[in-house]
Amino acid sequence: MISESLSEEARKKGLEKAKLVRRNRAEIKEKLKNGRISINELFNDQEIFEEYIAGMKVLNIISSLPGNGRVNAIKTLEKLRISPHKKIGGLGKNQKASFYKHFNITES
């Protein structure tokens, strides 16, 4: 949905910011896949979590973990009773607790 009130400059600035976020999320998923960063580190770095992780789908995070693919991620989400369409930031209290417990994420 395009807002008529945005100037051309503001629209371009927003598009650049969105492009940067997508690029950084792709880098985060690649680092997870290669084991260069752990899920625990991602969730405990508040700046990265708020800027990038909270807006990512749970399915994308799990399928980016080493040894996991999309099918395994969906099975894990079914077991945890979390919709594959949910975003990390949108998890309820119980869903978040079961997710953190399953992946041994310690809250700092």
Residue 3 inside a domain? The answer is no
**Burial grade of 99 (CB within 10 A; 0-12, 13-18, 19 or more):** buried
pLDDT by residue (tens digit) across 33-50?
A: 999 999 999 899 999 999
The CATH number of whichever domain residue 58 belongs to comes to 1.10.8.50
pLDDT band at 108 (very low <50, low <70, confident <90, very high): low
Residue 33 inside a domain? The answer is yes
The amino acid occupying position 55 is G
> How far from chain centre, in Å, is Cα 36?
16
**CB–CB of 39/65 below 8 Å?**
yes
**Burial grade of 98 (CB within 10 A; 0-12, 13-18, 19 or more):** middle
Q: Indicate the number of domains in the chain.
A: 1
Phi, psi of 57 (to 5 degrees): -75, 145
3-state DSSP assignment of residue 87: strand
Which residues constitute the domain of residue 18? 8-102
Q: What is the DSSP letter of 57?
A: B
Residue 1 inside a domain? The answer is no
What mean pLDDT is predicted for residues 83-101? 94
Residue 67 inside a domain? The answer is yes
Residue 17 inside a domain? The answer is yes
pLDDT at 5: 82
Residue 39 inside a domain? The answer is yes
DSSP helix, strand, coil percent of the chain (3-state; round to 5) = 65, 0, 30
Q: Which residue has the tokens 């680092």?
A: 31
Residue 107 inside a domain? The answer is no
**pLDDT at 65 exceeding the cut of 60:** yes
pLDDT by residue (tens digit) across 12-31?
A: 999 999 999 999 999 999 99
Residue 30 inside a domain? The answer is yes
